[in-house]
Structure 1
């Protein structure tokens, strides 16, 4: 069942002095079904991060539209966009985006605090989530006291605690070592298995191989896509690497 529709997205940036234009996205269209785990890949400058920002309602397209559950992003007023984002989207970033002056617990609960959620309900959501992500012993610590993997699991908890329709992850394994990366991706697989829809931008074929579908962006357009189907993760990894070799644009990490 369709959750999100990306319709003919085009994005053109003007230079600071209003001279030369830069086209980041030319014409991108695809759909995201409920319960999918999608990875988006492409070389640096291919437009994938611009696409993610538009899907996150952090940027607006030059033309085209994003539709979630039948609601067009173009119809959302500027003063309503932050509430819409908080109610529908969860975010996981490469650099974690945690507040060092807040404890792990307070970082996780922040979006619920902003939404005015009752304290009892916040605590009810926090306990099982912290246990699932193995961070229950870290709740009173501060971000500077925990490891990169623990920071990212904290960021995942913050993204999930609002029960979003869609989690958007921007290079979530980029700052992690291989073990922490694998742990995080297994968490994504578990969340996806429980019905959470996830869209992840990544340079890593290893990370993409955990997804159920991979979209490849090249020169601002959707170049191709792969479905995992019944393939093992290793088989899917090989297919992703093979497609990346066709892209042959440099700057794409297969590790």
Structure 2
């Protein structure tokens, strides 16, 4: 009897995972993201944060899970064109109502700017949300850090209550593998995924690490990934060549 209950709980746990749409990433996460979790994807410019987020929204649409992509840095047309250039045309899913793009400029002192889409999320029964990016939101609130953190916490809690899985993007400067500087907002999210460029001779190698993922197990190593047609592909059975060759890796 105990074995049956244990197996049932295990099945429920696995079924409550959300697929990322990123080849190899669900293996790192041991099944995907926990449904209703709020995850921060962070790293320097050009590391694939937006690409990973588009893959996440697109995967939901392919499985009839409506998603919203909130962009505060790029125009809606830029997101469409960027997706298409990588072989990820989101337009057909927009027409079906499975993907909604929202251009949401962050206005200084406008406390509801991050919460405005909540009504749309409720009315459309949205299951996945991307906020790209929280960095501009931080600048809009500077120097009122308390208000900024309060609004971020409010939004993440609402997503959790509604069972919506949230991916938020933020910029982070990384200079050394052993000296990753954590910001206050890193601790406001259930999960923290760090994308980076590790110097390899005269070029750079893309790498990813799940720094934390509250409420679920995951692989702890740093893994290489590539960006190409179709987006990001993670290689969970490999170690970065740059880390094998050098004891200390410098980041761009």
TM-score range relative to shorter protein: 0.3 to 0.5
After TM superposition, the score normalised by the length of structure 1 is 0.47
After TM superposition, the score normalised by the length of structure 2 is 0.48
